[in-house]
Amino acid sequence: MLHPDDLDERLPRPHHRWIRPDGRLGRLLALGGLLLALGGCASYQPLPPTAEQAPVAVPPHQAWTLASATAFALQHNPNLRESTLQLTLARQQAGLAQVPPPLGLGFSLDHPWQQGLFNAFSLSASQDLSFWLQRAPRDARIRATLRQAILNQRWQAWQLVAAVQQQYVSLWTFSAQQRLLDTQIDWARQRRAEAQPARAAGLITADAEALLDARLAEWQQAAATLEQQQRKARVAFNQLLGVAADADTPLDPPPSPPSGVPPQPVELDQLPQRPDLLALHAAIDEQDAQYRQALLDQFPAISLGLTRSQDTSKVQTLGLGIQLVIPLFDGNRHAIAVADTRRALAAEQYRNRLAHARAEVIALQQKQAALQRNRVEIEQHLRALRPTLAHAEQAMTAGLMSASSVDALRQALFAQQTALLENTAEQQRAAYALPALAGIAPAGLPPAAAADAPSPHP
């Protein structure tokens, strides 16, 4: 008598023409699926050979203006380019934080060793549900972190514009002082050449000639010192622009300071809108989201899983599993305390920065007032010295005044002219620095960097 299994082996097994009994089609389908999966993977891309070299921008052939130098720095400043890449990285990290955790898949195959008729297998799939249950504080933290990156990059652009404007004024002032010194040196050399025959004729004394030599040596030393300062200022200016350190593009005269400076008394309404202060406020929001996250973490984390299995007796089962991760030892109390302290620290840092910024604005405004008072005094001295020097030179020509007295008057006039140049430069630098400090976008910024939205969202 035949066994049913023997009968099944003798019966012919039908198959279609497109199905190979050797399983070749299955292998082809598996290979095609593997190739399709590999085709969607990212591949390694090496850095270009010039990535490790510092890029150097080429300055224009015409002279710099304050507007063109500011626009050039916003495009080629190395620190601002690095900050832009950091902002791009922050956006990518924000997108990465929104990706759900990977799905866990498992498969096992067991072959019976002694007893058992069939192979046993097990299939499982699991997913962490905490990602979905804690979405609100996570999204708040992501938004706050990205706001910080946006605002820090914006504040760096504000500071760059103010630094370029102030350095431009300093470099132009050094050039003006150098021209003034050259005029004095040329005058002293001419007087020195005229003093030799006058000394031989007994018209001037040896003391006057020695004083003239001392003035000439003093002005020449001042010119050498000023040249060194001008070179250092030029290198710093070129670094801000991102050009070669030895670039020597000439400068056009800077325009008048911007008119949108907060008037007296100091207006501090826009101060909390400064990008760095907004970034610190976003840091408070981030730490608050971390605190809420810590509060949720004191509850168990939940993972849900599905299983499909078969034992060696070919008994198949389908199951559902739940896994709980319980903070059993401290109930997450330490993490909650840390998050709460960090939130308080962020708030304290914001208050300190706001108070410091307020003091900076008031001090700079007081400095502007003092500079204006000093300028009035300098201009009064200049109005008195110029005609006095002209009369003194006429009196010296007529033999009514000594050359040493005229030289002293000329030295006093030169000191006041130098003081006026320095006072003007200080006033211009303060005027260019004050808008950014007071929370007003500096002139020359593009609209994206000058935006004053209190809480930009990604």
Residues 331/298, Cβ–Cβ less than 8 Å: yes
Best CA proximity match to 364, nearest among 443, 276, 432, 425: 432
- CA 209, CA 425: separation in Å to the nearest integer? 35
- Maximum Cα–Cα distance across the chain: 155
Residue span(s) of the chain under CATH 1.20.1600.10 come to 57-97+139-297+333-450
- CA 458, CA 452: separation in Å to the nearest integer? 15
Low-confidence ranges of the chain (pLDDT < 70): 1-27, 30, 33-34, 36-40, 49-55, 116, 196, 198-205, 256-266, 447-458
The one-character DSSP state at 330 is T
CATH topology of domain 57-97+139-297+333-450: Outer membrane efflux proteins (OEP) (1.20.1600)
Instruction: For residue 260, give both structure tokens.
Output: 């949108």
State the virtual CA torsion across 162, 168, 171, 172 in degrees, nearest 10: -130
Confidence at residue 453, expressed as pLDDT on a 0 to 100 scale? 41
Task: CATH number for 100-133+300-331: choose from 2.60.40, 2.60.120, 3.40.50, 2.20.200.
Answer: 2.20.200
Confidence at residue 52, expressed as pLDDT on a 0 to 100 scale? 59
Amino acid in the structure at residue 319: G
Residues 124/303, Cβ–Cβ less than 8 Å: no
Amino acid in the structure at residue 452: D
List b or e across 130-145, with b for residues whose CB sees 16 or more CB atoms inside 10 angstroms: beeebeebbebbbbbb
Main-chain phi, psi angles of 120, to 5 degrees: -100, 145
Q: How many CA atoms lie within 13 A of 188 on its CB side?
A: 25
Residues 212/187, Cβ–Cβ less than 8 Å: no
pTM: 0.80
Confidence at residue 8, expressed as pLDDT on a 0 to 100 scale? 47
Confidence at residue 260, expressed as pLDDT on a 0 to 100 scale? 40
Residue span(s) of the chain under CATH 2.20.200 come to 100-133+300-331
Amino acid in the structure at residue 331: G
Confidence at residue 26, expressed as pLDDT on a 0 to 100 scale? 64
Best CA proximity match to 122, nearest among 139, 137, 138, 105: 105
Q: How far apart are the first and last CA of the chain?
A: 79
